[in-house]
């Protein structure tokens, strides 16, 4: 059976839709806000995973936010009168990317305080963590979890998501983006299972797997190529 | 007809009979002095005897003691001494009593019983009653592998003493005990615990340092959230610092610690978010200090997701 696809891209919204056998399940249009960084992960299970990785919850390694706050606090404790040296930080295992982030924050704190002040730096780090909590809460408020999964198809996707998400391989994030859209569509019932994506490279490599995981009918990139 | 299977015998530690006698003497000595053998004192007494006997010239006096560091110091592994003693409430390290299991293994090397009787009696008398608990723990914690453990004991005894009315409130002493905790934290135990501890202390710092005299409600709250961390910490502590434990038992500790760590992280994150959001908000909080760094971190998280799974 032939299928007809419509897609469009403007600066704010990627719109994707298709008409085909799957339209019984997802007959309409879906809007995917591409401008807000957080919504690269459409509100769904994936957003929980995003913050879980940020905070190390349920993972076998510390989260990024955890590490940045912890490393910076260690650095502030080390540098009571002057900022800590790289060697001192290396002695605490803070090197490479971790050191880079700590330095960025310490520099920012020094600038705000008009010079190095460990006490003020600590207060500013606390404000930083508070700001993170506020941004996270705001994001969750803008994108409430939809828990109205009630069809067998939804449950099947949910189940696949839950097994895929922690073990998705190198291109996990792209898969999640697509899976998240499927999940969102299943929640809202607004789209047939065909996606338009700007990431030709990834789709080229993983189309088969994504199709298998998502049970969508096909994928189309922005040049109109069908997978 | 269904065949009856005998339960599998547990692996027996060396000199199990000596351990049996030590436990029996410990229970009896404590019961004679306090009227009951509390699990807390029993654990410390048996560990004390073990420590003394491990230096005995007569090797017949030495024995293996399956134990691990936990909430109130070293504890004897109840699962490994099931046929010697029974902890009435094994999940309540502080409140449980201990009973002797009749018919358990016993052996009496020459001269051992006299020496054992002397040690157990001295201990029971020295740390008699509830007032003996504090000095007993301080003595016991001298052998703790981390200074942080001694720092925590000090913090805990100080704050609980104030909260329960045994000591006068002392904001400076509490602030100093908190600073000591921060300074002595063992960063090498588990990085996830370290980050959790640092996030917690970063939040608590101002409220501990600036607590008003007599604000026991605030102190109680601080003590509770730090205790919640301590519970997660001690699970990992027991994985790393245990003796004479079978390997599969340590693996069981590790699995349990991992499960509890996830639960603790969720509790901590929820707690911190709630507390930060309840604080007065300034216009700059979300977009002000270091907002650019925060945005850059989001990319870091994305990379971690992409590379790490």
Which residue, among A60, A72, A103, A130, would best test binding to B if mutated, counting the most B CBs under 10 Å from its CB? A130
A224 or A4, greater pLDDT: A224
- Yes or no: say if B291 and A158 are a contact pair by the CB < 8 Å rule: no
In three-state secondary structure terms, A213 is helix
pLDDT band with cut points at 50, 70 and 90 for residue A181: low
Q: Which of B290, B298, B305 sits opposite A108 (nearest CB)?
A: B290
pLDDT at B254: 95
Other beta carbons less than 10 A from residue A215's beta carbon: 14
- Yes or no: say if A226 and A203 are a contact pair by the CB < 8 Å rule: no
Q: Would you state the structure tokens that stand for residue B26, as one six-digit string?
A: 């410990």
Q: Annotate B122-158 with b (16+ C-beta within 10 A) or e (fewer).
A: ebbeebeeeebbeebbeebbeebebebbbbbbbbbbb
B6 or A200, greater pLDDT: A200
Q: Which of A68, A74, A127 sits opposite B297 (nearest CB)?
A: A68
pLDDT at B292: 59
Q: pLDDT by residue (tens digit) across A127-149?
A: 988 988 887 777 666 554 444 44
State how far residue A38 is from chain B, nearest Cα, in angstroms. 8
CA distance readout (Å), A174 to A14, A168, A199, A223 = 15, 10, 8, 18
Q: Do B273 and A136 touch (CB under 8 A)?
A: yes
Q: What is the pTM of this model?
A: 0.75
- The span from the CA of B260 to the CA of B248, in Å, is 18
pLDDT at A56: 82
B290 touches chain A (CB under 8 A): yes
Q: Do B272 and A129 touch (CB under 8 A)?
A: yes
Averaged pLDDT, A156-169: 43
pLDDT at B156: 96
Give me the helices (H) in chain B, please: 16-34, 39-53, 112-126, 133-140, 147-163, 171-184, 191-209, 216-240, 247-278, 284-287, 291-308
Describe the crossing of helices A172-188 and A200-214 by its angle, rounded to 10 degrees: 50
Burial group, residue B166, by CB count within 10 angstroms (0-12, 13-18, 19+): exposed
- Which of B20, B299, B120 minimizes the C-alpha distance to A65? B299
pLDDT at A209: 62
- The span from the CA of B210 to the CA of B224, in Å, is 18
ipTM above threshold 0.85: no
Mention every residue, 6+ apart, whose C-beta is less than 8 A from residue A135: B286, B294
- The span from the CA of B62 to the CA of B14, in Å, is 9
Q: Could you tell me the sign of the dihedral formed by the alpha carbons of B91, B94, B97, B102, in that order? A: positive
Q: pLDDT by residue (tens digit) across A14-61?
A: 222 222 222 222 222 222 333 333 333 333 334 555 677 778 887 788
B contact residues 111-140, partner A, Cβ 8 Å cutoff = none
A198 or A139, greater pLDDT: A139
Which helix (H) or strand (E) segment holds residue A194: the answer is: strand A194-197
**Which parts of chain B register pLDDT below 50?**
1-12, 289, 305-309
DSSP codes, B37-71: -BHHHHHHHHHHHHHHHTT-SSGGG-----EEEET
Size of interface A-B (CB pairs under 8 A): 145
- Yes or no: say if A206 and A213 are a contact pair by the CB < 8 Å rule: no
- The span from the CA of A56 to the CA of B235, in Å, is 18
């Amino acid at each position: 059976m032939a299928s007809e696809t419509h897609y469009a891209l403007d600066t704010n919204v990627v719109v994707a839709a298709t008409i085909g056998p799957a339209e019984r399940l997802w007959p309409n249009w879906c809007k995917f806000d591409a401008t807000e960084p957080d919504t690269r992960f459409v509100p769904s299970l994936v957003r929980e995973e995003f913050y879980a990785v940020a905070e190390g919850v349920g993972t076998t390694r510390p989260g990024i936010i955890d590490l940045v706050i912890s490393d910076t606090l260690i650095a502030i404790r080390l540098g009571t009168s002057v900022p800590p040296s790289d060697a001192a930080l290396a002695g605490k295992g803070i090197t490479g990317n971790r050191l880079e982030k700590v330095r960025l924050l310490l520099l920012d704190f020094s600038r705000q305080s008009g010079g190095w002040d460990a006490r003020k730096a600590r207060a500013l780090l606390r404000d930083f963590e508070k700001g993170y909590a506020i941004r996270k809460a705001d994001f969750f408020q803008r994108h409430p979890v939809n828990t109205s999964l009630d069809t067998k198809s939804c449950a099947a996707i949910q189940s696949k998501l839950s097994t895929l998400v922690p073990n998705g391989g190198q291109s996990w994030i792209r898969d999640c983006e697509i899976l998240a859209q499927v999940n969102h569509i299943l929640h809202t019932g607004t789209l047939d299972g065909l996606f338009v994506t700007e990431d030709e490279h990834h789709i080229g490599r993983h189309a088969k797997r994504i199709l298998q995981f998502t049970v969508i009918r096909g994928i189309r990139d922005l040049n109109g190529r069908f997978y | 007809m269904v065949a009856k299977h005998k339960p599998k015998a547990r692996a027996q530690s060396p000199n199990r009979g000596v351990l049996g006698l030590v436990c029996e003497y410990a229970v009896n000595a404590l019961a004679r002095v306090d009227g009951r053998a509390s699990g807390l004192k029993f654990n410390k007494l048996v560990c004390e005897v073990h420590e003394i006997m491990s230096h005995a010239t007569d090797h017949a006096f030495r024995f293996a003691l399956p134990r691990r560091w936990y909430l109130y110091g070293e504890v004897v592994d109840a699962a490994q001494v099931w046929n010697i003693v029974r902890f009435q409430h094994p999940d309540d390290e502080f409140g449980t009593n201990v009973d002797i299991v009749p018919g358990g293994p016993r052996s009496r090397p020459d001269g051992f019983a006299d020496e054992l009787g002397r040690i157990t009696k001295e201990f029971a008398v020295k740390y008699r009653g509830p007032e003996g608990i504090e000095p007993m723990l301080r003595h016991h914690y001298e052998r703790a592998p981390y200074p942080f453990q001694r720092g925590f004991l000090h913090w805990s005894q100080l704050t609980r003493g104030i909260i329960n009315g045994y000591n006068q409130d002392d904001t400076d002493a509490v602030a100093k005990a908190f600073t000591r905790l921060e300074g002595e934290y063992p960063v090498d135990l588990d990085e996830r615990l370290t980050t959790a501890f640092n996030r917690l202390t970063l939040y608590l710092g101002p409220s501990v340092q600036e607590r008003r005299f007599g604000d026991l409600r605030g102190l109680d709250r601080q003590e509770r959230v730090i205790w919640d961390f301590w519970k997660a910490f001690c699970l990992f502590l027991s994985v790393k610092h245990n003796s004479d434990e079978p390997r599969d038992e340590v693996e069981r500790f590790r699995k349990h610690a991992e499960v509890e760590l996830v639960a603790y992280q969720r509790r901590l994150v929820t707690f911190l978010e709630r507390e930060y959001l309840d604080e007065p908000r300034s216009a700059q909080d979300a977009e002000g200090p270091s907002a650019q760094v925060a945005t850059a971190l989001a990319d870091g998280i994305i990379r971690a997701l992409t590379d790490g799974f």
